[in-house]
Chains A and B, each alone.
Chain A
């Protein structure tokens, strides 16, 4: 099953609006936080996962959460998916050839026996952490699902910017993560930010090193494992 991107956008906007209205009805004010990821020359870096976590921002169990991790041209699409704890992730295989998807990462261990098309029900990711996906037939297929308790997350756009919406006042840890980050501290960076009712200052992650170059070859479906 494919979801029309426009429909997905509308659904997200509607959810965001509902959340906003629910927040307003409770009398709580919420602020937006602007986060940028810049390289050493001040250029924006796209695709970085940004999460704001207050430690108390629990997932809202009333909101149905689902996401799709597709397989196209012998790659996971998207290669990196961020979901809130409790999200049900669907794993269709849009390739003509069969895949055998597995994870032995602590937050979610599973395997999907050889399949093509849409064979299995979604898998619920019920523990936070990083889940690395593989295919036992095609070792070059690597995908990531970042599962977070926080409902406030996004990925930086082409200008290196992500806007996190509707954060209640409080102290937050901002995390920037990407599998190709090669900062001295590892593949995740953190900042502290205090959000007040009137908002929060824009936050900037300055990367000291470029993302590790990693070509993600789509491969050739004609190639076999010699």
Chain B
């Protein structure tokens, strides 16, 4: 019922927006559109990637490196009636997803002028929860490296808000204070299977965002069968998240969020051949920009995910298929002119709540070094070295060593149109 309601509200809002478009005073302009073509030369000694049916934690592996399409990102932005901002982002990865090009985000934000120092914002559509402090480029790409942290890789894989988010901002700096504060609350549907990939393949570090109608990997291929399609609803129950943010001048930004998809873990989807996953987590992040050159970012996330057991009315952490997960990272970035250097350390763990020795248990850490140079307004190159040291017990099921050191060197050439 909830889901039907929000679905109707969303389609209504989208239709109204499209109908209103011709009435808008602002005609479409060339700079409403953008495209970024990202071509890669990749060398990887990784295990077969979870994206290719294996249990490796990188995007590219030994069998899938060389010259690759990083992505083609397409975006559209348009302002209607001054205060309605419409955004759509689509991406192509050239890896035989269901559609060659598919949406990652499509939403409208209503952003009226502040009233005294208060401002409300309402977002409707498909978009990312305000968790990542790395993914600042259009199309939710990281501004600091090719591959976002384990936390934000997971968010790109399995989480999307398909619903409505309300934000209340207090713009204290307009009143001579040093702080700005914000509250966020959202209700959403179609997110009942988030947690499925994390709990079967463990954490990953990769920049492949799951698209709205796409999937992760190929059907019928994989060490561990299970859900490959996301952004689906099983139980018609809304999920929610609520959080807050604080900004100190331009120097410090803090975000906290509690997330709960409220999925009924006993609901079975015949279409996806899986039970729903009840996923809850808390997250916190801090971005510190002490000078124009330096940025420091840290994020932390801890939660649980549980899937079906008919013995219980709802998800329980004592279930066989119940997992705890947590991850954190710290990133330091230095920029001067056209050059940016970034280094990041990730560590992560996911384990069954009942056992330290379960076949899905995963833990590891990773180092990422990235150098970006903007050659011109349109062209840039990024060189990234990534090493993940991880153990994933399930690898023994496919005859691979449980512990793996996986390395990936990528040179990206980007053209922004």
Q: Which single member of B113, B116, B137, B289 contacts A215 (CB below 8 Å)?
A: B289
8 Å CB interface, B89-147 against A: 111, 113-117, 119, 128, 130, 132, 135-138, 140, 143
Query: In the complex the two chains form, what is the Cα distance from A216 to B135 in whole Å?
Result: 21
Is there contact, CB below 8 Å, between B130 and A215?
no
A104-B114, A136-B111 as given contacts; A215 in contact with B174, CB under 8 Å = no
| Cβ–Cβ < 8 Å partners of B26 in chain A | 114
Is there contact, CB below 8 Å, between B79 and A215?
no
Q: Does B173 contact A (CB under 8 A)?
A: yes
Query: In the complex the two chains form, what is the Cα distance from A104 to B176 in whole Å?
Result: 12
| Cβ–Cβ < 8 Å partners of B119 in chain A | 136
Query: In the complex the two chains form, what is the Cα distance from A132 to B174 in whole Å?
Result: 6
Is there contact, CB below 8 Å, between A215 and B114?
no
Q: Does A98 contact B (CB under 8 A)?
A: yes
Q: Does A194 contact B (CB under 8 A)?
A: no
Is there contact, CB below 8 Å, between B137 and A222?
yes
Q: Does A179 contact B (CB under 8 A)?
A: yes
Q: Does B397 contact A (CB under 8 A)?
A: no
Is there contact, CB below 8 Å, between A179 and B176?
yes
Is there contact, CB below 8 Å, between A226 and B140?
yes
Tell me the smallest distance from the CB of A40 to a CB of chain B, in Å.
Answer: 22
Tell me the smallest distance from the CB of A17 to a CB of chain B, in Å.
Answer: 38
Is there contact, CB below 8 Å, between A104 and B116?
yes
| Cβ–Cβ < 8 Å partners of A215 in chain B | 249-251, 289-292
Tell me the smallest distance from the CB of B410 to a CB of chain A, in Å.
Answer: 20
Tell me the smallest distance from the CB of A77 to a CB of chain B, in Å.
Answer: 15
Is there contact, CB below 8 Å, between B114 and A222?
no
Q: Does B82 contact A (CB under 8 A)?
A: yes
Residue of A nearest to B289 (CB): A217
| Cβ–Cβ < 8 Å partners of B115 in chain A | 104
Q: Which single member of B136, B289, B290, B291 contacts A226 (CB below 8 Å)?
A: B136
8 Å CB interface, B253-296 against A: 289-292
| Cβ–Cβ < 8 Å partners of B116 in chain A | 104
| Cβ–Cβ < 8 Å partners of A142 in chain B | 173-174
Tell me the smallest distance from the CB of B251 to a CB of chain A, in Å.
Answer: 6
Tell me the smallest distance from the CB of A104 to a CB of chain B, in Å.
Answer: 6
Query: In the complex the two chains form, what is the Cα distance from A137 to B180 in whole Å?
Result: 15
Is there contact, CB below 8 Å, between B79 and A98?
yes
Q: Which single member of A104, A114, A187 contacts B117 (CB below 8 Å)?
A: A104
Q: Is the interface of B mostly helix, strand, loop or mixed?
A: loop
Query: In the complex the two chains form, what is the Cα distance from A105 to B116 in whole Å?
Result: 8
A96-B31, A98-B79, A104-B174 as given contacts; A136 in contact with B136, CB under 8 Å = no
8 Å CB interface, A205-220 against B: 212-218, 220
Is there contact, CB below 8 Å, between B82 and A214?
no
Tell me the smallest distance from the CB of A99 to a CB of chain B, in Å.
Answer: 12
Q: Does B171 contact A (CB under 8 A)?
A: yes
Q: Does A55 contact B (CB under 8 A)?
A: no
Q: Which single member of B114, B143, B251 contacts A223 (CB below 8 Å)?
A: B143
Query: In the complex the two chains form, what is the Cα distance from A188 to B277 in whole Å?
Result: 58
| Cβ–Cβ < 8 Å partners of B176 in chain A | 132, 179, 187
Tell me the smallest distance from the CB of A134 to a CB of chain B, in Å.
Answer: 6
Query: In the complex the two chains form, what is the Cα distance from A174 to B247 in whole Å?
Result: 34
Tell me the smallest distance from the CB of B412 to a CB of chain A, in Å.
Answer: 15
Query: In the complex the two chains form, what is the Cα distance from A181 to B114 in whole Å?
Result: 26
Is there contact, CB below 8 Å, between A113 and B82?
yes
| Cβ–Cβ < 8 Å partners of B171 in chain A | 134, 139
Is there contact, CB below 8 Å, between A226 and B128?
yes
Tell me the smallest distance from the CB of B363 to a CB of chain A, in Å.
Answer: 29
| Cβ–Cβ < 8 Å partners of A100 in chain B | 82, 113
| Cβ–Cβ < 8 Å partners of A132 in chain B | 173-176
A114-B79, A134-B114, A217-B292 as given contacts; A223 in contact with B136, CB under 8 Å = yes
Tell me the smallest distance from the CB of B134 to a CB of chain A, in Å.
Answer: 9
Query: In the complex the two chains form, what is the Cα distance from A96 to B176 in whole Å?
Result: 29
8 Å CB interface, B143-192 against A: 143, 169, 171, 173-176, 178, 180
A104-B115, A104-B117, A215-B291 as given contacts; A140 in contact with B250, CB under 8 Å = yes
| Cβ–Cβ < 8 Å partners of B137 in chain A | 222-224
Query: In the complex the two chains form, what is the Cα distance from A16 to B82 in whole Å?
Result: 43
Q: Which single member of A96, A111, A136, A222 contacts B138 (CB below 8 Å)?
A: A222
| Cβ–Cβ < 8 Å partners of B114 in chain A | 102, 104, 134, 136
Residue of A nearest to B140 (CB): A226
| Cβ–Cβ < 8 Å partners of B132 in chain A | 226
Query: In the complex the two chains form, what is the Cα distance from A29 to B140 in whole Å?
Result: 65
What are 16 A-B pairs at a CB distance below 8 A?
A102-B113, A102-B114, A104-B114, A104-B115, A111-B113, A114-B26, A114-B79, A132-B175, A134-B173, A215-B290, A215-B291, A218-B292, A222-B136, A222-B137, A224-B137, A226-B132
Residues of A in contact with B (beta carbons under 8 Å apart): 96, 98, 100, 102, 104-105, 111, 113-114, 132, 134, 136-137, 139-140, 142, 179, 187, 212-218, 220, 222-224, 226
Residues of B in contact with A (beta carbons under 8 Å apart): 26, 31, 79, 82, 111, 113-117, 119, 128, 130, 132, 135-138, 140, 143, 169, 171, 173-176, 178, 180, 247, 249-251, 289-292
Q: 18 additional contacts, CB 8 Å, given A134-B174, A142-B174, A223-B137?
A: A100-B82, A104-B115, A104-B117, A104-B174, A111-B113, A114-B79, A132-B175, A132-B176, A134-B114, A137-B111, A139-B171, A179-B176, A212-B178, A214-B250, A215-B291, A216-B250, A226-B135, A226-B140
4 closest A-B pairs by beta carbon, nearest first, are: A223-B136, A217-B250, A132-B174, A113-B82
